[in-house]
Amino acid sequence: MNSAIELEGVGWSAGGKGFQLRDVSLRVPMGSIYGFLGPNGSGKTTTIRMFMGMMKPDRGRISVLGRTVPKEMKQILGRVGYVPERPHVYPSLTVREQIKVHSAHYDLWDQGWCNELVSRLHLDPSRKISRMSKGETGKLLLLLALSQRPELLVLDEPTDGLDPVVRRDVLTAVLDYVSEKNATVFISSHLVHELERICDWVGVMDGGRLVAELPMQSFKNGIKRLRVANAPEVPIEIPFTLLSRARDNGRGSIETWIVRDWEPPMRYYFDGVGATVRDVIDLDLEEGFVELLRSSRPQHTNGG
């Protein structure tokens, strides 16, 4: 499987007791729409800055579109469209002037496509950026990235704080571009449901670590809540990943297990250890996301 972005053992520390990236290894398949999920402060933007060459890792290896970061960033950047978390436009310019400034830096700039996007995203070329709403600025940033005709589109929280109509316009433009160009998209967000309908791969960050990376379909279908009777005290050689378990209050021998990588034939495991699966309950994407985060964090107990 060819990777558009590949990180292997990437680590970085702010120093002292500050934030750290902890041996992050991820692979973004070429042609995929990869959702990068995690709560605010989990390390999503820091990871993006690493593979965009804006920060240097303390250790590890990074490649983008088959080229080494940061050594070959000049060749990489001409093929990448980037919408950062914070706008990188000049407030004193109009939309038309900002487009002219930005286009001068890209050999593959497509002015005809740019003009079409101005119309499709309902932007006024004569409007000063300082007088634009957050939603209008977000659409301008996407227009600048798409007009480069990139092979890889990197979006860092592109719809954060936007109203539902603008979010729909932004995501529709991204999907239309992907279907036409077969580009790769890496989109970071903490809005789980927003990514559910567009992504085919997902990576989950928490506390500077990549706690999961898998196809979206596996993420949606493979995390379950089980109600188990007579569960073994110490499970051995389980065929799935046990994220958490808890005894149901007032239900005697019944426990609730949250599991990952579940498949229906795995019920037979419980028959072999004298237990019974009473229910297998689907979790929605947000519930699965929360359970992954909960299971990845240290469990604290009160001392006596």
Over residues 39-58, the pLDDT tens digits come to 888 999 999 999 999 999 99
Write the DSSP symbol of residue 129. G
Q: Containing domain of residue 190, as a range? A: 31-56+76-209
How many domains does the chain fold into?
A: 2
Residues 85 and 203 in one domain: yes
Residue 40 CA to residue 124 CA, distance in Å, equals 32
Same domain, 171 and 254: no
Q: Look at residue 297 and tell me whether its pLDDT is greater than 80.
A: no
Q: How far apart are CA 195 and CA 113, in angstroms?
A: 25
Same domain for 120 and 191, yes or no, is: yes
Selection from 261, 246, 281 nearest residue 212 by Cα:
261
- The token duo for 168 is 């729909």
Domain end, chosen from 161, 184, 209, is at: 209
CA distance 36 to 45: 10
Considering the domain architecture, whether residues 160 and 103 belong to the same structural domain is answered as: yes
Rg, Å, the chain Cα set:
22
Confidence label for 222 from pLDDT (cuts 50, 70 and 90): confident
298 lies in some domain: no
Are 183 and 108 a contacting pair, CB within 8 Å? no
Please indicate, yes or no, if residue 235 is contained in any of the structural domains. Answer: yes
Which has more confidence, 224 or 298? 224
Q: Is residue 90 part of a domain?
A: yes
Asked if residue 166 and residue 90 are part of one domain, the reply reads yes
Is residue 67 one of the residues assigned to a domain? no
| 220 — pLDDT class (breaks 50, 70, 90) | confident
CATH at residue 136: 3.40.50.300
CA 138, CA 140: separation in Å to the nearest integer? 5
Percent of the chain that is helix, strand, coil (3-state, to 5): 35, 30, 35
Asked if 180 and 149 touch (Cβ cutoff 8 Å), the reply is: no
Q: Is residue 169 part of a domain?
A: yes
* Of the residues 167, 182, 209, the one at which a domain ends: 209
| Average of per-residue pLDDT across 276-299 | 85
Tell whether 131 is covered by a domain. yes
Q: What is the DSSP letter of 12?
A: E
